[in-house]
């Protein structure tokens, strides 16, 4: 632009990082993105931004940005042209498919994929190459929330929206360090705390920055949230605090039989019905969860359990529950999601302003690309692969025979990498994610990917431990170097235009896939024009939801507004689904859970069960992992931002002062952590966070040089297949 020096041209986009999906403005100067500020017109963040968001443009210009494709020759990588690299990828895919069959190919993507990236990946692999080997890293962070929604409501994604924050009297945070993970959203909670005296309850296994700001911090022993949730329901029912009319009109009580994968195994059918029970049977089940009994299991006092129940049970208080990885990365992820829904359903505190059970996502498009476009092995952009009608519907839009889409899911994420390790999968294309840092028990999968006879393609912007296992590295265009869309945690689809040129030969992941699809002979299915492909793909994707309960806003609306929430009906977004006052799709009464055949949500009877691994004499400590405020996910972008790097230059092990004292460990001392799967040496941090329970340590996972996932366990929830990164057993020794 011909701007006077010092003037910036500001263009709007959703933030590149977390699932809050803040609207930002990107300042452009001389063809370079140089600044970010919060967009005051965005209803998400109202002009605010966090340290990561402000630095998103710095993350684009790291010195070691990959600008040319690299092909592995012997021990070295050599630069080639993009044309040569794409030719090689296509020919390798063709050769592998001919020799080993469709299911020898796979693609592993991400909640950082744009909607268009995920859509064309699914179309190419499922529709054209006839393999359901399509997965995304969102399996590692929110699959349990998906199966929780599907089992309780028959439809995925939160029914409420961020405006709930402006109405709720109580915010209940279930294992959710929101102050660090979703900082801008948390600042909206703090606003309400100070303006309206809204109460924040932090219910977690360790104290964090969130606890400091909360009105009450309640700690529980790992995995016992299941028991506490049941105890809260018990107290509500025993005191008659349930909303009897709501329960009888809009809920089914069920003892359930869903203990197998949701659409992941042949046995399980989408139509499996809950087994109804009456209220007496449910209360009898809950007798095992009296506050006194649960105090012994969880370490939470009976008094605190009654207090929590009284907040949910007070008819004059509106309650919004938030959660994220604390509940989803859990070997009983689906169950604990169901149990929090139970509390909201019993009290009727759902789908009205301020009353929401709300699962948050970690990535900018985990909802948009993975959950909505359906980039998981069992899913299609609408429906599931094991439903013939859904396959026929998808095939018609994709322009392929319905028989092309295989009727069975294949591998979820952990099993997909195990299949690569075994050699059942020979070719894997990894886009916009860093599994060799983020997979649990990662040593096992790094070794598998390096084995002879595997061919791994990695599309990324910087070198990572994942590009280290690649045979071909493709340089990707990042964020506003290309056009695209993200979908955030509140069902808001947000568009962004290309604002600057990508470096070197970098290309969007969408266009890389289209180029390869054409080389494989699918020109007819991928006819898009370079200048208009984002719009063409979005319009094609919208056909999946034409006039259904997931209706998406037209592109011109997304461009004009700071995003738009679906279902978008008669020119309006839907803020609270399933409530006839706000959601035009409700036809059966005041509330209509129309994802379920009978329009009723399910209150599930789910027991407490222990974790996959518990501390022993040899490995006496719990290990918990997670993120920090300064870095985003595996740190591949934010560690290249000098301000963020200096603020948090490396990982650490956070120790309880009592444990540290016992072991003679001070802050800065080097500590060896070991589990059955590996060991790691890193500095200790002893502070007023990470307080009881004694016997738990915490390590953030952003640091590829101090890789905590060498230690974590790859056990997963059998329904959602989401692994548990929050609990395994380790030994702690001063080095
Ligand atoms: Fe970006 Fe999340 Fe920070 Fe908002 S809270 S600016 S979306 S990282």
Q: Which residue has a Cα nearest atom 1 of ligand 1?
A: 53
DSSP string across 668-730:
T-EEEEEETTEEEEEEEEESSSS-SSTTEEEEES--TTS-GGGTS---B-TTT--B--S-EEE
Q: Which of 22, 51, 631 to mutate to test the pocket of ligand 1 (most atoms within 8 A of CB)?
A: 22
Q: What is the CATH number of the domain that holds 35?
A: 3.30.200.210
pLDDT attached to residue 227 = 97
Q: Whole domain around residue 438: which residue ranges?
A: 87-140+364-527
Using 50, 70 and 90 to split pLDDT, how confident is the model at 588? confident
2 part of a folded domain: no
260 part of a folded domain: yes
pLDDT attached to residue 7 = 82
Can you say whether residue 595 is alpha, beta or left, with left for phi > 0 and alpha for psi between -120 and 50 degrees? alpha
594 part of a folded domain: no
pLDDT attached to residue 1 = 42
Q: Dump pLDDT digits (tens) for 18-50.
A: 999 999 999 999 999 999 999 999 999 999 999
Q: Dump pLDDT digits (tens) for 641-672.
A: 999 999 999 999 999 999 999 999 999 999 99
To the query of whether residue 325 is one of the catalytic residues in this protein, the response is yes
Cis ω before 567 (30° cut-off from 0)? yes
Q: Which residue has a Cα nearest atom 5 of ligand 1?
A: 184
pLDDT attached to residue 548 = 77
Mean pLDDT computed over 333-356:
97
Distance 11 CA to ligand 1 centre (A): 17
Q: Are residues 406 and 442 in the same domain?
A: yes
**pLDDT at 269 exceeding the cut of 90:** no
Q: Which of 527, 557, 588 is the last residue of a domain?
A: 527
The DSSP code for 4 is P
To the query of whether residue 256 is one of the catalytic residues in this protein, the response is no
CA angle at 285 for the pair 282 and 286, rounded to the nearest 5°: 90
Q: Dump pLDDT digits (tens) for 274-320.
A: 788 899 999 999 999 999 999 999 999 999 999 999 999 999 999 99
Q: Which two tokens stand for residue 77?
A: 């990588």
Q: What is the CATH number of the domain that holds 287?
A: 3.40.228.10
Q: Which two tokens stand for residue 115?
A: 């909607």
Q: Which of 15, 37, 365, 627 to mutate to test the pocket of ligand 1 (most atoms within 8 A of CB)?
A: 15
To the query of whether residue 60 is one of the catalytic residues in this protein, the response is no
* Strand arrangement, sheet containing 170-174: 216-219, 199-204, 170-174, 319-323, 356-359
Q: Which of 45, 186, 490 to mutate to test the pocket of ligand 1 (most atoms within 8 A of CB)?
A: 45
Q: Which two tokens stand for residue 327?
A: 């509940």
Give the H/E segment covering residue 145: helix 143-153
**pLDDT at 259 exceeding the cut of 80:** no
Q: Are residues 107 and 252 in the same domain?
A: no
Using 50, 70 and 90 to split pLDDT, how confident is the model at 689? confident
**pLDDT at 3 exceeding the cut of 60:** no
Q: Which two tokens stand for residue 280?
A: 């007496």
User: With pLDDT > 90 as the criterion, what percentage of the chain qualifies?
Assistant: 90
Q: Which of 527, 552, 569 is the last residue of a domain?
A: 527
Q: Is the CB of 22 under 6 A from ligand 1?
A: yes
Q: Is the CB of 14 under 6 A from ligand 1?
A: no
ipTM comes to 1.00
Q: Are residues 354 and 445 in the same domain?
A: no
Q: Which two tokens stand for residue 449?
A: 């990917």
Q: Is the CB of 17 under 6 A from ligand 1?
A: yes
Distance CA 654, CA 219 (A): 16
Q: Dump pLDDT digits (tens) for 204-247.
A: 999 999 999 999 999 999 999 999 999 999 999 999 999 999 99
DSSP string across 475-530:
EBP-GGGS-EEEE-TTSEEEEE---SPPSTT-B-HHHHHHHHHHHTT-TTT----T
- Using alpha carbons, select from 671, 675, 654 the residue that is nearest to residue 730: 675
Using 50, 70 and 90 to split pLDDT, how confident is the model at 260? very low
Q: Are residues 277 and 369 in the same domain?
A: no
345 part of a folded domain: yes
**pLDDT at 270 exceeding the cut of 50:** no
Mean pLDDT computed over 100-113:
97
- Annotated binding-site residue? 413: no
Distance CA 372, CA 356 (A): 20
Q: Are residues 518 and 401 in the same domain?
A: yes
pLDDT attached to residue 263 = 43
Q: Are residues 479 and 401 in the same domain?
A: yes
Q: Which of 340, 362, 384 is the last residue of a domain?
A: 362
Number of structural domains found in the chain:
4
Q: CA 33, 39, 41, 43: dihedral to nearest 10 degrees? A: 130
Q: CA 655, 658, 662, 667: dihedral to nearest 10 degrees? A: 40
726 part of a folded domain: no
pLDDT attached to residue 262 = 41
**pLDDT at 13 exceeding the cut of 80:** yes
Q: State the chain's maximal CA–CA distance in angstroms.
A: 74
- Annotated binding-site residue? 258: no
Q: Backbone phi, then psi, for 164, in 5-degree steps? A: -55, -35
Q: Backbone phi, then psi, for 566, in 5-degree steps? A: -95, 160
Distance 644 CA to ligand 1 centre (A): 14
Q: Are residues 304 and 246 in the same domain?
A: yes
577-585 long-range contacts, Cβ below 8 Å, gap at least 24?
577/155, 577/159, 577/351, 578/153, 578/159, 578/350, 578/351, 579/159, 579/351, 579/352, 582/351, 583/351, 585/549
616 part of a folded domain: no
Q: What is the CATH number of the domain that holds 651?
A: 2.40.40.20
- Annotated binding-site residue? 147: no
User: With pLDDT > 70 as the criterion, what percentage of the chain qualifies?
Assistant: 96
Q: Is the CB of 52 under 6 A from ligand 1?
A: yes
Q: What is the CATH number of the domain that holds 124?
A: 3.40.50.740
Place of tokens 């322009």: 399
666 part of a folded domain: yes
Are β-strands 105-109 and 134-136 bridged in parallel, bridged antiparallel, or unpaired?
A: parallel
Distance CA 154, CA 635 (A): 35
Q: Which two tokens stand for residue 721?
A: 């297949």
SS3 label, residue 575: coil
Q: Are residues 113 and 155 in the same domain?
A: no
Distance 385 CA to ligand 1 centre (A): 34
Q: Are residues 45 and 173 in the same domain?
A: no
Q: Is the CB of 49 under 6 A from ligand 1?
A: yes
Q: Are residues 224 and 249 in the same domain?
A: yes
Q: Dump pLDDT digits (tens) for 127-149.
A: 999 999 999 999 999 999 999 99
To the query of whether residue 116 is one of the catalytic residues in this protein, the response is no
Residue 206 CA neighbour count, 13 Å, CB half: 26
DSSP string across 170-203:
EEEEES--HHHHSHHHHHHHHHHHHHH--EEEEE
Q: Is the CB of 59 under 6 A from ligand 1?
A: no
- Annotated binding-site residue? 575: no
Distance 253 CA to ligand 1 centre (A): 38
In sequence order, what are the beta bridge partners of 653? 684
Q: Which residue has a Cα nearest atom 2 of ligand 1?
A: 18
Q: Are residues 164 and 236 in the same domain?
A: yes
Mean pLDDT computed over 690-706:
88
Cis ω before 693 (30° cut-off from 0)? yes
558 part of a folded domain: no
**pLDDT at 2 exceeding the cut of 70:** no
Average pLDDT, the chain: 94
Distance CA 454, CA 171 (A): 48
Mean pLDDT computed over 612-620:
95
Angle between helices 333-347 and 302-313 (to 10 degrees): 50
- Annotated binding-site residue? 633: yes
Q: Are residues 427 and 315 in the same domain?
A: no
């Amino acid at each position: 632009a011909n701007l006077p020096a010092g003037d910036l041209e500001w263009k709007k986009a959703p933030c590149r990082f977390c699932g809050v999906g803040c609207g930002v403005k990107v300042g452009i100067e001389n063809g370079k993105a140089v600044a970010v500020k919060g967009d005051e017109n965005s209803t998400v963040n109202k002009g605010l931004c966090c340290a990561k968001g402000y630095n998103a443009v710095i993350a684009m210009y790291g010195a070691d940005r990959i600008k040319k494709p690299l092909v592995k020759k012997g021990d070295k990588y050599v630069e080639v042209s993009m044309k040569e690299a794409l030719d090689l990828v296509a020919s390798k895919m063709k050769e592998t498919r001919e020799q080993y069959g469709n299911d020898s190919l796979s693609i592993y993507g991400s909640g950082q994929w744009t909607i268009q990236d995920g859509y064309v990946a699914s179309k190419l692999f499922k529709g054209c190459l006839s393999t359901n080997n399509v997965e995304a890293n969102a399996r590692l962070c929110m699959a349990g929330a998906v199966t929780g929604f599907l089992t309780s409501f028959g439809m995925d994604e939160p029914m409420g929206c961020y405006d709930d924050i402006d109405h709720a009297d109580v915010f209940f945070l279930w294992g959710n360090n929101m102050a660090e993970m979703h900082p801008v959203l948390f600042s909206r909670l703090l606003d309400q705390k100070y303006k309206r005296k809204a109460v924040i309850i932090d219910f977690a296994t360790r104290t964090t920055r969130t606890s400091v700001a909360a009105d009450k911090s309640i700690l529980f022993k790992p995995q016992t949230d299941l028991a506490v949730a049941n105890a809260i329901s018990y107290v509500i029912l025993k005191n008659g605090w349930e909303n009897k009319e709501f329960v009888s009109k809009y809920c089914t009580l069920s003892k359930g039989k869903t203990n197998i994968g949701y659409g992941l195994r042949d046995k399980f059918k989408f139509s499996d019905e809950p087994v109804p029970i009456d209220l007496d049977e449910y209360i009898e089940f809950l007798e095992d969860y009296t506050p006194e009994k649960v105090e012994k299991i969880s370490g939470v006092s009976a008094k605190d359990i009654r207090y929590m129940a009284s907040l949910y049970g007070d008819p004059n208080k509106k309650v919004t529950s938030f959660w994220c990885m604390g509940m989803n990365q859990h070997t009983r992820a689906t169950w604990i999601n169901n149990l929090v829904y139970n509390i909201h359903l019993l009290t009727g505190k759902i789908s009205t302003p301020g009353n929401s059970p709300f699962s948050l996502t970690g990535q900018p498009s985990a909802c948009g690309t993975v959950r909505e476009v359906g980039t998981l092995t069992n899913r299609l952009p609408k429906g599931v692969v094991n439903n013939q009608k859904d396959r026929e519907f998808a095939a018609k839009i994709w322009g392929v025979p319905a028989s092309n889409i295989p009727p069975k899911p294949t591998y979820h994420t952990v099993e997909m990498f195990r299949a690569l390790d075994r050699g059942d999968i020979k070719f894997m294309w990894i886009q916009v994610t860093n599994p060799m840092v983020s997979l649990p028990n990662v040593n096992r999968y790094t070794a598998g990917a390096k084995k002879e006879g595997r061919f791994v393609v990695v599309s990324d912007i910087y070198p990572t431990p994942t590009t280290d296992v690649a045979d071909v590295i493709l340089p990707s265009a990042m964020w506003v170097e290309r056009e695209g869309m993200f979908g955030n945690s509140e069902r808001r689809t947000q568009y962004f235009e290309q604002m600057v040129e990508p470096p070197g030969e970098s290309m969007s992941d969408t266009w890389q896939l289209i180029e390869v699809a054409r080389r494989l002979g699918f020109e007819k299915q991928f006819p898009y024009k370079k200048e208009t492909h984002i719009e063409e793909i979005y319009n094609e994707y919208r056909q999946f939801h034409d006039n259904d309960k997931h209706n998406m806003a037209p592109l011109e609306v997304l461009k004009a507004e700071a995003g738009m929430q679906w279902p978008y009906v008669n020119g309006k977004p839907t803020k609270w689904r399933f409530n006839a006052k706000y959601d035009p799709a409700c036809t059966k009464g005041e509330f209509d859970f129309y994802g379920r055949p009978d329009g009723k949500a399910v209150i599930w009877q789910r027991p407490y069960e222990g974790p996959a691994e518990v501390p022993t004499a040899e490995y006496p400590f719990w290990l918990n992992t997670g993120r920090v405020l300064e870095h985003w996910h595996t740190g591949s972008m934010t560690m290249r931002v000098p301000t963020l790097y200096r603020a948090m230059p490396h990982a650490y092990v956070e120790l309880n002062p009592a444990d540290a004292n016992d072991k003679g460990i001070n802050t800065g001392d080097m500590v060896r952590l070991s589990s059955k799967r590996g060991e790691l040496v890193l500095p200790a941090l002893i502070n007023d966070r990470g307080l009881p329970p004694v016997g738990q340590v915490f390590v953030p996972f952003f640091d590829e040089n101090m890789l905590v996932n060498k230690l974590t366990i790859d056990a997963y929830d059998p329904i959602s297949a989401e692994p548990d990164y929050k609990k395994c057993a380790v030994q702690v020794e001063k080095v």
